[in-house]
Chains A and B, each alone.
Chain A
Amino acid sequence: MTKHYAVASVMLMAAVPAHAETPVPAQPAAVDVYIEAMFKDAPADWRRRVVQDETQRLCSLSRNNPPPDVASAISARAAASLVYPSDGIMIGDWKRGEAIAEDGRGGQFTDPPGRASGGNCYACHRMAPGEVSYGTLGPSLAEYGRIRKFSAEAAREVYAKIYNAQSVQPCSTMPRFGYHKLLNEQQIKDVTAYLMSPDSPVNTPAVDK
């Protein structure tokens, strides 16, 4: 470990003038040394999660504001990853979709292994106007389907957005639920239904806006 830190120090120090006032960004390889040490005790499959894919790497380096050519490559790669339902039906069961939207568990090292993930949509989004416990990291989705006249095209776009949000917005903060297999096909259909069904509480008009 001491040898690794010495190597990292040399790699960083080579770029730092002796009297630098502004911090010089760390070299990714030097950062990896710290990552390796932080997660050395984790099981191998958990350690793999910490390895970045190309999109994560580029979005991290650009702080989610990639230059246009990089952004195009990211969204193209994301679009290529999309897998739509083989039966062509985008809309599932909105009641199950609501449960998925409310469920913030799954995938954490304190969750039981194999526990299915929820979408945790309410962490970031307003959805059903009557649900007061909503987050604001993402835009409000209240009356989402109603606003788009419950169109089939909108349903397909919702499915794609949930599957891989970066197909729409490169370096989006939104997790790539389908790409990472956080949500399976049926779960994504059900959340799509929650947003797009006329009967869904999402599309019940708010009393106060």
Chain B
Amino acid sequence: MPTGMRSALAWSAVVVALMLATGGEVAGAEQGGDATQEALERYRAMLSDPTANPGYLNVDRGEALWKTRRGAANVTLEGCDLGEGPGKLDGVYARLPRFFPDAGRVMDLEQRLLWCMENVQKLATADVRAQPFGEPGRSSDMEDLAAFVASRSNGMPIEPQLTHPEERQLLAVGEALFYRRASIADFSCASCHSEDGKRIRLQTLPNLSRPGADAQATMTSWPAYRLSQSETRTLQNRLWDCYRQMRMPAPAYASDGLTALTVYLVKQAQGGVINAPGIKR
């Protein structure tokens, strides 16, 4: 993307942020549920303007990283096989997680990117693994690369990969984790995500316990620029944040349990058309 367009995007983001800060009143809430729901949907519609999405700055940086020689092997990630052959980017995100024979395991996008960085580029990833989530003043390679790769599946339907026995194993584990209640508030994912039409405070909750529109809307919009954090976040971060809110310890970044949950969620979202990066609260 040309530099001029990047500046325009950045300024658009500022304008949108100001509009949301001053104009977003929840009208008619005194009248109860329907008016509030309508207002929330108008808010979501305001958010979904693609020309004002700061996540595309991450896409730019991710594309540059993909094409940068790094590591002891001094090669780019263009030799990385994300499931459709070395360097092939179109549609790969729509078919993740999946089993990779060279690694002998099922991997999600971030696990596979790390694998390529380590095994193709011979790049040490300890620092990336230790700080996978960006913050103001420090961008995250993982968030940039994930935004870039995901955007290359835009317009394509989610195709869960469930033919290999290990893929099916992870699906079963993911489903069990989804329903696993624990910790000091007795929460599981299902506590908040197993009914239609519910919300926490004014945050609507997708029902992720069955295939359908809720799961599709959720899974087709990650990675996403999160306004509340001024950062582009991946699904790894969203799951980490869920465990935080469930009063559980922080799950290890790129651990197989998080991939198992992702396999389960991707299955529920089958057929959803990807549009990443999204914009969320």
Contact = CB atoms under 8 A, between A and B. Distances in A.
Interface of A: 5, 8-9, 12-13, 16, 20, 23-26, 28, 30-31, 34-35, 37-43, 46-47, 49-52, 56, 59-60, 63-64, 107-110, 122-124, 132-137, 173-176, 180-182, 207-209
Contacts of A132: 26, 29-30, 36, 202
B165 A13 contact: yes
A108 B245 contact: yes
Interface in B69-119: 105
Nearest to B247: A107
Residue of B33, B248, B260 ringed by the most chain A CB atoms within 10 A: B248
Interface string B174-195: 0111011111111110111001
Given A34-B173, A56-B182, 6 more contacts: A5-B256, A63-B179, A123-B201, A137-B198, A182-B184, A182-B185
A135 B198 contact: yes
B200 A123 contact: yes
B44 interface: no
Given A23-B172, A64-B190, A16 B165 contact: yes
B168 interface: yes
Nearest 9 pairs of A and B residues by beta carbon: A42-B249, A46-B249, A38-B257, A132-B29, A26-B172, A34-B257, A175-B185, A49-B183, A180-B184
Contacts of B168: 16, 20, 23
Contacts of A181: 184
Interface residues of B, number: 52
A42 B250 contact: yes
B18 interface: no
Q: Main SS of chain A's interface residues?
A: loop
A59 B250 CA distance: 23
Contact of B181 (A24, A41, A59, A134): A59
B166 interface: yes
A208 B30 contact: yes
Residue of B30, B202, B247 ringed by the most chain A CB atoms within 10 A: B247
Contact of A26 (B176, B202, B245): B176
Given A25-B172, A50-B249, A124-B200, A175 B29 contact: no
A98 B154 CA distance: 46
B137 interface: no
Contacts of A60: 176, 179-181, 188
